[in-house]
Structure 1
Amino acid sequence: MKKRICILLAVIIVMTVSLPLVTWGADDIYPGFRVQGRFLYDKNGEKVVLYGVNEMSIWGDIDGDVALPEIRKTGANAVRLVWSITGPARKLDILLYNCRLNNMIPIIELHDATGEWQKLPTLVDYWTRPDVVEVLKKHEEYLIINIGNEVGAQVSESDFKIGYETEIKRMRAAGIHVPLMIDGGDWGKDINILQATGPYLINADPDKNLLFSVHMWWPYMWGYSEEKVIDEIKESVEMDLPLVVGEFGHQWEEHDNGKIPYKTILEQCYKNEVGYLAWSWGPGNQPQTFLDMTTDGTFDTLRGWGLEVCITDPYSIKNIAVRPASMLAEPTTEPPVTNIPKGSIAHNKPVFVSSTESGYGNIPENAVDGNIATRWSSEYSDPQYIYVDLEDEYEIERVYIEWETAYASQYKIQVSNDASTWTDVYTEYNGDGDIDDISIDAKGRYIRIYCLQRATQYGNSIFELGVYPKGGAPEPTPTGVEILVGDVNMDGKINSTDLTRIKRHILKMITLTDLELAAADVDGNGVVNSTDLTMIKRYLLKIIPGFPGGDRRIVPPGPIFY
Structure 2
Amino acid sequence: MVKRWALAAVAALLAALAPLLTAPAASAANGFHVSNGRLYDANGNEFVMRGVNHAHAWYPDRTAQALPDIKALGANTVRVVLATGARWTRTSPSAVSTIVSQCRANRLICVLEAHDTTGYGEQAGAATLGQAVDYWLGVKSALVGQERYVIINIGNEPYGNGNYGGWTNDTRNAISRLRSNGFTHTLVVDAPNWGQDWSNTMRDNASTVFNADPQRNTVFSIHMYGVYDTASEVTAYLNAFVGSRLPIVVGEFGDNHSDGNPDENAIMATAQSQRIGYLGWSWSGNGGGVEYLDMVSGFNRNSLTSWGNRIFNGANGIRSTSRQASVY
- Please report how far the alpha carbon of residue 63 of structure 1 lies from its aligned counterpart in structure 2 after TM superposition: 7.1
| SS state at 2:220 partner | strand
Any idea what the Cα deviations from partners look like across 1:517-558, whole Å, max 9, x if unmatched? xxxxxxxxxxxxxxxxxxxxxxxxxxxxxxxxxxxxxxxxxx
- Please report how far the alpha carbon of residue 285 of structure 1 lies from its aligned counterpart in structure 2 after TM superposition: 3.3
Alignment check: 8 A CA contact 2:164 2:193 kept = no
Matched residue count: 310
Decide whether aligned partners of structure 1 residues 62 and 88 sit closer, same or farther in structure 2, where only a CA change above 3 A counts: farther
Do residues 97 (structure 1) and 101 (structure 2) align? yes
| SS state at 1:309 partner | helix
Partner of 2:36: 37
Alignment check: 8 A CA contact 1:63 1:91 kept = no
Q: Give the whole-Å Cα distance in 1 for the aligned partners of 2:250 and 2:196.
A: 10
Partner of 2:131: 122
Q: Give the whole-Å Cα distance in 2 for the aligned partners of 1:18 and 1:177.
A: 18
- Please report how far the alpha carbon of residue 80 of structure 1 lies from its aligned counterpart in structure 2 after TM superposition: 0.5
Partner of 1:200: 208
- Please report how far the alpha carbon of residue 324 of structure 1 lies from its aligned counterpart in structure 2 after TM superposition: 2.2
Partner of 2:285: 283
Alignment of structure 1 residues 321-340 onto 2, 5 Å: 321-326=322-327, 328=328
Q: Give the whole-Å Cα distance in 2 for the aligned partners of 1:57 and 1:128.
A: 20
1:228 to 233, 256, 262: 233
Decide whether aligned partners of structure 1 residues 61 and 233 sit closer, same or farther in structure 2, where only a CA change above 3 A counts: same
Q: Where does the alignment leave 5 or more consecutive residues of structure 2 unmatched? A: 1-6, 85-89, 122-126
TM-score by length of 2: 0.87
Q: Give the whole-Å Cα distance in 1 for the aligned partners of 2:273 and 2:32.
A: 23
2:273 to 271, 274, 277: 271
- Please report how far the alpha carbon of residue 38 of structure 1 lies from its aligned counterpart in structure 2 after TM superposition: 1.4
Decide whether aligned partners of structure 1 residues 174 and 76 sit closer, same or farther in structure 2, where only a CA change above 3 A counts: same
Partner of 2:52: 53
Decide whether aligned partners of structure 1 residues 193 and 19 sit closer, same or farther in structure 2, where only a CA change above 3 A counts: closer
Do residues 189 (structure 1) and 196 (structure 2) align? yes
Do residues 110 (structure 1) and 114 (structure 2) align? yes
| SS state at 2:206 partner | helix
Any idea what the Cα deviations from partners look like across 1:467-502, whole Å, max 9, x if unmatched? xxxxxxxxxxxxxxxxxxxxxxxxxxxxxxxxxxxx
Alignment check: 8 A CA contact 1:180 1:211 kept = yes
1:212 to 200, 215, 220: 220
Partner of 2:243: 238
- Please report how far the alpha carbon of residue 288 of structure 1 lies from its aligned counterpart in structure 2 after TM superposition: 1.1
**4+ residue runs over 4 A deviation:** 13-19, 155-158
Do residues 171 (structure 1) and 178 (structure 2) align? yes
Q: Give the whole-Å Cα distance in 2 for the aligned partners of 1:115 and 1:60.
A: 21
Partner of 1:153: 160
Q: Which structure features the higher share of helix residues?
A: 2
Q: Which has the higher contact order (CA 8 A, sep 6+)?
A: 2
- Please report how far the alpha carbon of residue 19 of structure 1 lies from its aligned counterpart in structure 2 after TM superposition: 7.7
Alignment check: 8 A CA contact 1:292 1:306 kept = yes
Q: Give the whole-Å Cα distance in 2 for the aligned partners of 1:271 and 1:84.
A: 34
- Please report how far the alpha carbon of residue 315 of structure 1 lies from its aligned counterpart in structure 2 after TM superposition: 0.1
Q: Which amino acid aligns with 1:281?
A: W
Q: Where does the alignment leave 5 or more consecutive residues of structure 1 unmatched? A: 1-6, 329-562
TM-score by length of 1: 0.52
Q: Give the whole-Å Cα distance in 2 for the aligned partners of 1:284 and 1:156.
A: 28
- Please report how far the alpha carbon of residue 18 of structure 1 lies from its aligned counterpart in structure 2 after TM superposition: 7.7
Q: Give the whole-Å Cα distance in 1 for the aligned partners of 2:145 and 2:286.
A: 30
Alignment check: 8 A CA contact 2:222 2:250 kept = yes
Partner of 2:309: 307
Alignment check: 8 A CA contact 2:175 2:213 kept = yes
Q: Which amino acid aligns with 1:205?
A: D
Q: Give the whole-Å Cα distance in 1 for the aligned partners of 2:104 and 2:133.
A: 24
Partner of 2:82: 83
Alignment check: 8 A CA contact 2:28 2:41 kept = no
